[in-house]
Amino acid sequence: MSIRHFLTLRDLSSEELRKLVRRASELKAIRNRGEIYEPLKNRVMSMIFEKSSTRTRVSFEAGMAQFGGHAMFLSPRDTQLGRGEPISDSARVISSMVDVVMIRTFSHQLVEEFAAHSSVPVINALTDEYHPCQLLADMQTYFEHRGDIQGKTVTWIGDGNNMCHSYINAARQFDFKLKIACPEGFDPDPELVAENQSRVLITRSPEEAVTDSDLVVTDVWASMGQEEEQKEREMKFADFQVSPSLMDKANSDAIFMHCLPAHRGEEISEDMLEDPRSVVFDEAENRLHAQKALLEFLLVK
Ligand code: CP
Ligand code: NVA
Q: Closest ligand 1 atom to the C-alpha of 51?
A: 6
Phi/psi region, residue 156 (left: phi>0; alpha: psi -120 to 50; beta: rest), is: beta
- Do 17 and 171 meet the contact criterion of CB atoms below 8 Å apart? no
Q: Is 56 a pocket residue for ligand 1 (Cβ < 6 Å)?
A: yes
Catalytic residue among 172, 287, 289, 291: 287
CB-based contacts of 227: which residues, under 8 Å, 6+ apart? none
For position 1, what pLDDT does the model report?
Answer: 62
CATH number of the 9-130+284-299 domain: 3.40.50.1370
For position 236, what pLDDT does the model report?
Answer: 98
134-279 placed in CATH 3.40.50.720: no
Q: Is 124 a pocket residue for ligand 1 (Cβ < 6 Å)?
A: no
For position 137, what pLDDT does the model report?
Answer: 99
pLDDT tens readout for residues 22-38:
999 999 999 999 999 99
Q: Which residue has the higher pLDDT, 275 or 78?
A: 275
- Residue with CA closest to ligand 1 atom 3: 56
Q: What are phi and psi of 177, to 5 degrees?
A: -95, 140
Respond yes or no: is residue 104 known to be catalytic: yes
Respond yes or no: is residue 219 known to be catalytic: yes
Q: In 15-139, where do the E strands start and end?
A: 44-49, 70-74, 100-104, 122-124
Rounded mean pLDDT of 178-186? 98
Contacts 24+ apart (CB under 8 A), 53-60: 53/104, 53/125, 53/126, 54/261, 55/259, 55/260, 55/284, 55/287, 56/102, 56/104, 56/125, 56/126, 56/133, 56/287, 58/288, 59/287, 59/288, 59/291, 60/102, 60/125, 60/291
Nearest alpha-carbon partner for 277 in 205, 210, 220: 210
> CA-to-CA distance for 145 and 139, rounded, in angstroms?
10
pLDDT tens readout for residues 277-291:
999 999 999 999 999
Q: Is 162 a pocket residue for ligand 2 (Cβ < 6 Å)?
A: yes
pLDDT tens readout for residues 207-252:
999 999 999 999 999 999 999 999 999 999 999 999 999 999 999 9
Rounded mean pLDDT of 129-144? 99
Nearest alpha-carbon partner for 253 in 132, 140, 152: 152
Of all residues in the chain, what percent carry a pLDDT higher than 70? 100
For position 301, what pLDDT does the model report?
Answer: 80
Instruction: Tell me if 9-130+284-299 shares its fold with 134-279.
Output: yes
Rounded mean pLDDT of 149-163? 98
Q: In 81-223, where do the E strands start and end?
A: 100-104, 122-124, 153-157, 177-181, 200-203, 215-218
Radius of gyration of the chain (CA): 19
Q: Is 53 a pocket residue for ligand 1 (Cβ < 6 Å)?
A: yes
Mutate to test the pocket of ligand 1, among 124, 258, 260, 280 (most ligand atoms within 8 A of CB): 260
Rounded mean pLDDT of 193-199? 98
> CA-to-CA distance for 253 and 99, rounded, in angstroms?
42
Q: Closest ligand 2 atom to the C-alpha of 128?
A: 7
For position 190, what pLDDT does the model report?
Answer: 98
- Do 112 and 7 meet the contact criterion of CB atoms below 8 Å apart? yes
Nearest alpha-carbon partner for 181 in 235, 246, 228, 134: 246
Residue 298 has pLDDT above 90, yes or no: yes
Catalytic residue among 259, 277, 289, 291: 259
Rounded mean pLDDT of 252-264? 98
Respond yes or no: is residue 204 known to be catalytic: no
Q: Is 163 a pocket residue for ligand 2 (Cβ < 6 Å)?
A: yes
pLDDT tens readout for residues 45-91:
999 999 999 999 999 999 999 999 999 999 988 899 999 999 999 99
Nearest alpha-carbon partner for 135 in 174, 109, 107: 174
Domain boundaries, the chain: 9-130+284-299, 134-279
pLDDT tens readout for residues 1-21:
689 999 999 999 999 999 999
Q: How confident is the model at residue 134 (pLDDT cuts 50, 70, 90)?
A: very high
- Do 74 and 53 meet the contact criterion of CB atoms below 8 Å apart? no
Catalytic residue among 99, 128, 138, 219: 219
